Structure 1
Amino acid sequence: MSAQLSHAELPLETPFFFGRNGELFGFYHPSDDRARRAALLCPPLGQDYIRCHRLYRQLAHALAEEGFAVLRFDYFGTGDSAGSSDEVDWERCIDDTITAAAELRMRSGVKSVVAFGARLGGSLALAAAPDAGFADVVAWDPVIDGPAYVEELDELQAALRQDATRFTRPRRESDVEQQWTGFAVSGALRRQIQRLHLQPALSPSLVFDSLPETSKHRWPMREGGPTQVKPLAPTPWSDLHRLELAILSHPLIQGVTHHLRGAA
C-alpha cells in the first residue's frame, strides 16, 4: 500500500468556472498523480446547501486523502454559479451534474467517477447517473417522494413565517409565498419536485438513513436489491430551531470514505 499524503501535503483546492459559457462554479480537489477514481459531490438545494457546505468541504478533503480526485460544484442559480435562486430548474440541475462529471473526467484524467449527494443532491445524482456515467452513487437521505418533501418544506416555511424568536410579528404570507426557508423558489421548480417519485436506473450502493421513522423515505430498491442502507443518528433537516446551524457528521464522512475506499 502506498503512503497516503497528509492533509497539509495535498495540493490546494482550485476554484474555477466551467460549463459552456463559464456559468458554473466549482472547487477541484486534486489527489496525487496516481488517482484512479474520481468523486463528484452533488450538493442539495436551498437551506440544506448552506448547512452542508462545510461538511462537503471536509468530505472532499477526506476523499482526496484517499486518492480520489474530487469536484464540488454549484448548479446554475445556486452558490457562486451564475443565476439567481428563482431560476433554479430541476432539469437544468441534472444537466449541470452531467456537465460537472465531464469536467471532472477532463481535469483528472480519470474515467471512473462516483457521485455523492445529500437530500436533493442525492436525488439529482441518481437522476443524472445514466447520462453522467457514474460508476456508483452514495446518497444521504435522498428525496424519493417529491409531494411529501414539498409538504414538509411548506410546513417549515409556514412555521418560520410565524416564529416569534426570529420576528417581532408574523411576516405576511404574501411576502414569503414564493420562498422556502429564505430562498426564492419558482412555481416551475415547485411543480418539478412535486412530480418527483425517484425510480433511478442506477441503484446507489449505499444510502445513509438519518430520517425519522415516520418519514416517507423508505428506499424503494432496498428489498432484494444491491443497495445497503446504513442508519445514522437523526439529522435535524427540518428542525425549525436549528435551521441556521451547520449540519456536520463525522460518522457520515468516515462512512463514505470507508465505503468508497473498499470499492476503489
Structure 2
Amino acid sequence: MNMRARADMPFHFGPERELFGMFHAAGSPAQKAVVLCPPLGQDQIRCHRLYRQLAQVLADEGVAVLRFDYYGTGDSAGDSVDVDWERCKVDTAIAASELRMRAGIDRVFAFGARLGGSIALASAVQARLAGVVAWDPVLDGRAYVSQLDAMQSALYSDEQRFMVPRKATDVATQWLGFSISDTLRRQLTNMHIERPTVPTLLLDSLLPEVPRYSSGFMAMARSLQPPTPWDDMRRLEVAVLSHPLIQAVTRHMREVA
C-alpha cells in the first residue's frame, strides 16, 4: 500500500477520539496544509463531494489536506442536536493541530463554505490559522437563522415532498431535516463576524438579490460564477459542485507565501 493510499484512510482523533477525519497526503513533499471546515446541516451534505474533490486536487498540488466532521455531525460522535457553535470552533483548532502533526507543517490555512467559512473565520486565532478562504460565509447569524426558519416552514408543508403536510410540532426543532437545540439557535442568532483576524480570501457566488458584505469586512474578494443558489428549495437534495471554486482555491494556495 503506497503512502497516499495509507494516508487517505479514515481515522478518529481528538482527546477522546470522538472526531472523524480524512487526511490527504500531498502527492509531493508538502509545503502547505489546509484544513477543510465543513458547513452544517443540509449544506454539509450538499458540499460533501465538492470537499472531497477539492482535497484531492490540493493534494495533487503538493498541499496536505484534512477533511473532518465537527462533534455531532457526519461520522464524528454525537447527534445533530448536540452541535454547538463553540464546540465547532474548538474542534477546528483540534483539527488544525492534527493536520500540523500529520503533515509536519506548522502553517495551516483553512477553507470553508457557508457556515464552514464562518467557523474558520471565528476560530482563526484559536486554531492559529495562517489564512482563510471563505466561500459565501455567513456573517450575520440573525439573518441566516431567519432564512432557515422560512425554509423550514416551507419544507414541512411542501406537497411535492409529503403526501400529507407534516405537523408543525413535528418539525419545530429542526432545520431542513436536522434536529437543532435552543442553544445552537441562540448561538447562531447572536453570531456576527465583524472582520477577519487573519489574511482572508472571500469567494463570492451569492445570488444577485442577496445583500453583499459590508464595507467594513476587509478581505480580498473574488467573484465566482455562476451564482450558487444555496437557499433554492428546489435544489435541497442536489449536490453543490463548482469547478471555478476548486480552481480559485487551488490558484490561491499556489500564490500564498
The Cα of 1:228 is off from its aligned counterpart by 2.3
1:65-144 matches, cutoff 5 A? 65-144=60-139
The Cα of 1:108 is off from its aligned counterpart by 0.7
Mapped partners of 1:62, 1:219: distance in 2: 32
Q: Deviations over 1:219-246 (max 9, x none)?
A: 5545xx4422323321121111110010
Residue of 232, 238, 250 corresponding to 1:245? 238
Query: When the two structures are superposed, what TM-score results if normalisation uses the length of structure 2?
Result: 0.95
Q: SS at 1:121's partner residue?
A: helix
Q: SS at 1:31's partner residue?
A: coil
Residue of 137, 142, 146 corresponding to 2:141? 146
Q: SS at 1:135's partner residue?
A: strand
Name the counterpart of 1:165.
Answer: 160
Q: In angstroms, what is the RMSD of aligned CA positions? A: 1.5
Q: Unpaired runs of 5+ in structure 2?
A: none
Q: Letter of the aligned partner of 1:132 in structure 2? A: A
Mapped partners of 2:244, 2:51: distance in 1: 13
Q: Letter of the aligned partner of 1:166 in structure 2? A: R
Say which is worse superposed, 29-38 or 75-84, in terms of deviation. Answer: 29-38
Q: 1:37–1:69: 8 Å Cα contact kept in structure 2?
A: yes
Mapped partners of 1:160, 1:241: distance in 2: 10
Q: Letter of the aligned partner of 1:206 in structure 2? A: L
1:206-245 matches, cutoff 5 A? 206-222=201-217, 225-245=218-238
Name the counterpart of 1:4.
Answer: none
Q: Deviations over 1:144-195 (max 9, x none)?
A: 0101100110111011111111001211000000000000011100010000
Q: 2:118–2:193: 8 Å Cα contact kept in structure 1?
A: yes
Query: When the two structures are superposed, what TM-score results if normalisation uses the length of structure 1?
Result: 0.92
Matched residues, number: 254
The Cα of 1:11 is off from its aligned counterpart by 1.1
Mapped partners of 1:10, 1:232: distance in 2: 36
